[in-house]
Structure 1
Amino acid sequence: MRLQINVQLDYNLSRACDLLLQIEAAAIPEQIIEHSELLLSPCEHLARVPAQDNIGERIWLRTEGQFTADYRAIVRIERILRDPAVLPAIPPHRLPGETVQYLLPSRYCASNQFTDFVDSNFGRFQGGARLAAIRDWVARHLSYVPGSSNSDTTAIDTFHGREGVCRDYAHLLITLARAGEIPARFASVYAPGVTPPDFHAVAEVFLGGEWHLVDATGMATEGEMAKIGIGRDSGDVAFLTAFGPLYFNSQKVSVTQLPD
């Protein structure tokens, strides 16, 4: 699958401050960047640094006044697809070292608070079957409600409120998977068909010795997502982090499937 990605950001800064930007599709073996162009408004400083686990890049910026970013890319997805539901789990003591952090609680994903719930509701399942049961539970019990959450909303809040947006679906799925001894991390992606069009958030789980993207909202499938970056939760992979006052003007994200 080939995706055409167009992103426009427009913000104002009342004074000079630092920004951390991550909006480019990652150049990794499972996806080929056929074309990429990033146009930024004038900046005092610009430096690229590796993102989490070297998946994608972040850009350090220092600027003031109006900040704009125009990103255009064509990405070809060449991901090897396997149904996670049939894959075996790996016992914690046999997990690769790089997966361990994704088995532990994090800021938005307090998995240690859900061990009893997961044991009671999904304990009869193993491996990918457990993950599939958790995904289906999240899909059934949450309602997708734009504006129902904010940047402080945690998986615990979502569990009790039973509503949210893609970020909240991903956080709750990640939390329950970790509580069920399945390493899970947060992935920021581009995908066609997302409503409303925006940066999309999904979970990525480690089963059968490999990572798989899982979207509990049902809006995207693994074979049609272009990965931007990953993290323990959304705090690690925000598309724009400002270390100072930042004011929103406009934002547009468009993802279109192209002929192969």
Structure 2
Amino acid sequence: MRLGIDVTLDYTIDGAADVLLLIEAAKGIDQRLELQDMRVYTDTPLRAVPGEAGIGQRCWARGDGPFRAEYKAIVEIARTPIDLATLGDTPIRLMPGETIPYLLPSRYCESDRLEGFVHQEFPGLAAGPLAIALTQWVGDHLTYACGTSTGTTTAMMTFAERRGVCRDYAHLLVALARAGGIPARCVSAYAPGVDPPDFHAVAELWIDGGWHLIDATGMASCADLARVAVGRDATDIAFMTVFGTATLNWQNVAVTKLS
């Protein structure tokens, strides 16, 4: 699968401020960048820094007034879907160190408050079968509705209100998975068919020795996702963080299947 990506961000920075961009597709063994071009219209040199867990990269920029960033890429996805039901359990004490941060509660994923629910609702399930059951539960019990959540909505709030957007679906699935002893992290991604077109958020669960992408909204499959970045929750994967204030003028995210 090859994806064409075309992004434009047009903002006005209210006074001078540093801007952290996270919009470049990551290189990896399961996705290859055929073409990539990012342009940020600023008088200050850009500075790239590694992304969380060494996946992708962030870009520091400086904005003062009009701020525009453009990104184009062609990404080849080489990721074969795996039957999660076949994936076995790994005792927590034997999991690699990299998974530890993704077993613990975080700002938007209060997994410790969901442990009782997971143990009561999904008794006897673990690893792959539990991941399938949790994904189905989230899909069955949430309604996708734009404008029903904000940047401060947490997994527990989504659990109570039963509605949200992709970020909320990802937060809730990640929190439920952690509550069930599965390391889980949030992933920012590009995906075709997202409605409305935008940056997409999905979950990634560590099961049986590897990370597995899961889109609880059902809008994309793992074979169609171009990973941008990973993190504990939305704090780590926001496409743009302004260390000041900014006004959105116009934004466009277009992802197209090329083959």
The amino acid of 1:13's aligned partner reads: I
After superposition, residues 173-192 of structure 1 pair within 5 angstroms as 173-192=173-192
Contact 1:43 1:61 in 2 (8 A): no
- For residues 114 and 131 of structure 2, the distance between their equivalents in structure 1, rounded to whole angstroms, comes to 14
Given that 1:38 and 1:72 are in contact with CA atoms closer than 8 Å, whether structure 2 keeps it comes out as: yes
Shifted more, 109-118 versus 123-132: the winner is 123-132
TM-score normalized by the length of structure 1: 0.98
- Aligned AA (1:55): I
Moved over 3 A (4+): none
Deviation at 1:89, TM superposition (A): 2.3
User: Residue in 2 aligned with 1:231?
Assistant: 231
Deviations 1:115-142 (A, max 9, x none): 1100001122121001100100000000
| Closer/same/farther in 2, CA of residues 237 and 43 from structure 1, 3 Å limit | farther
**Higher alpha-carbon deviation: 72-81 or 248-257:** 72-81
Q: Contact 2:3–2:75 (CA<8 Å) still a contact in 1?
A: yes
Preserved CA contact (<8 Å) 2:126 2:180 = no
How much has 1:80 moved relative to structure 2?
Answer: 3.9
Question: What is the DSSP-based 3-state SS (H/G/I as helix, E as strand, rest coil) of the residue aligned with 1:229?
Answer: strand
The AA in structure 2 aligned to 1:203 is A
Paired position in structure 1 for 2:162: 162
Q: Is 1:118 matched up with 2:118?
A: yes
Listed as ranges, the matches of 1:10-21 within 5 Å are 10-21=10-21
Q: Secondary structure at the match of 1:71?
A: strand
Task: Determine the structure 2 residue equivalent to 1:221.
Answer: 221
Q: Which runs of 5+ in 2 are unaligned?
A: none
Q: State the 1:23 CA deviation.
A: 0.2
Please state whether the residue corresponding to 2:219 is helix, strand or coil.
Answer: coil
Q: Which residue of 2 aligns with 1:47?
A: 47
The share of aligned pairs that are identical, in percent, is 50
- Structure 2 partner of 1:90: 90
- Residues 155-175 of structure 1, C-alpha deviations (whole Å, 9 max, x = no match): 000000000000000000000
Aligned-partner SS, 2:139: helix
| 1:244 match | 244
Structure 1 residue 192, shift from structure 2 partner = 0.5
Instruction: State the alpha-carbon separation in 2 of the partners of residues 258 and 62 from structure 1.
Output: 34
More displaced 10-residue stretch of structure 1: 123-132 or 233-242 = 123-132
Moved more, 74-83 or 155-164: 74-83
Total equivalences in the alignment: 259
Question: Do the aligned residues in 1 keep the contact of 2:42 with 2:61 (CA within 8 Å)?
Answer: no
1:24 aligns to what? 24
- Paired position in structure 1 for 2:58: 58
Query: Which consecutive unaligned segments of at least 5 residues does structure 1 have?
Result: none
